[in-house]
Amino acid sequence: MAKEVLDYIKPDECQVILDMTFGSGGHSKKILKKNPNIKILALDRDPLAHSYACDLSETYPNQVTPLLGKFSDLPNLLKREGYGKKSIDGVLFDFGCSSMQFDLAHRGFSVSKNGPLDMRMDGERDSSVPTAADVLSRATEEDLYKIIKYYGQESQARKIARAIIESRYMFKKLTTTEELADLVEVVVTENFKHEEKQHKRSHVATKTFQALRIFVNNELNEINYGLILADHFLKLGGRLVTITFHSLEDIIVKRHLVGNLIENSANPLPLKFSSCNYNLGQNTMKGLMQCKWKPLHKNVIVPSQEEVEANNRSRSAKLRAAIKIR
């Protein structure tokens, strides 16, 4: 989808583009190569990704500004750099984990690579954030069920939650990705495993891993707030491009683009790390109920068969793009 991102973000000379999910810098590098005088604000909560942004800033001095933090840290980070309301020309989101994070076994994101059950996108930068292993060892059965059911959209969440509790008291606490993946594989039915292999081509524990990752990183609240910030900082006529990888992310984006927020929240289940006061002005939330976006395409953009064959992780990607009109 690299071509579509460039087509829809439509970077131009002397513009400021905010890459909200820098990762390894793939999108930002393409934007910089196409536009020599453009400026990139490179945000990421992962210290490793931030180090890549710092390296890129040395290659493109005075063009790349590395920013370390979550979406919810952005107002303070941009204020420090001298950017205020309606000062950004384009905002790009590429939600979820980056390939870089999945490929590092010690981060605990991948169901296929054995490592500690960590899953914190911030790494060890914020010690107050519990790891996935902490959640599995402390949460009640009902809370585990809700996490796996709502954030993983897992039909056998009840069985998996019960098995995690039984493992905690009868055997040992789950501390590695392999232990959790093996436990889930034992719990789910043979029919379910067959269905997963035939239709989704993913490990039966994938949804459980997704659920824990979303919970640990407070992803849905962060995404919801990140889109509020995109509206706040984008100029009129500024462009928003988002890439989502599952329906929970995509429904939040769609609600924002049509102004259809429910009680100013896009989350199906309250998260432990809730943030409510954004200090962006009293009318900010109220104004979101009006449609502020004009879509740049009729139907959602999905990867081509060639892209999926080249990168299987892109198979569930959905791209949406819009212009700010209010």
List the chain pLDDT tens, one digit each, 326 residues: 778 999 999 999 899 999 999 999 999 999 999 888 999 999 999 999 999 999 999 999 999 999 999 999 999 999 999 999 999 999 999 998 877 787 788 888 889 899 999 999 998 887 788 999 999 999 999 999 999 999 999 999 999 999 999 998 887 789 999 999 999 999 986 555 555 554 456 789 999 999 999 999 999 989 999 999 999 999 999 999 999 999 999 999 998 898 766 444 444 444 333 333 334 444 444 444 567 899 999 999 999 888 888 888 788 899 999 999 98
Q: Hey, what domains does the chain have and what are their CATH numbers?
A: 2-100+218-324 (3.40.50.150), 130-216 (1.10.150.170)
Report pTM.
0.87
**Residue of 281, 147, 282 whose CA lies nearest to 219:** 147
Residue with tokens 């934007």, as numbered in its chain: 31
Q: How far apart are CA 22 and CA 49, in angstroms?
A: 7
Indicate the helix (H) or strand (E) that contains 165: helix 157-170
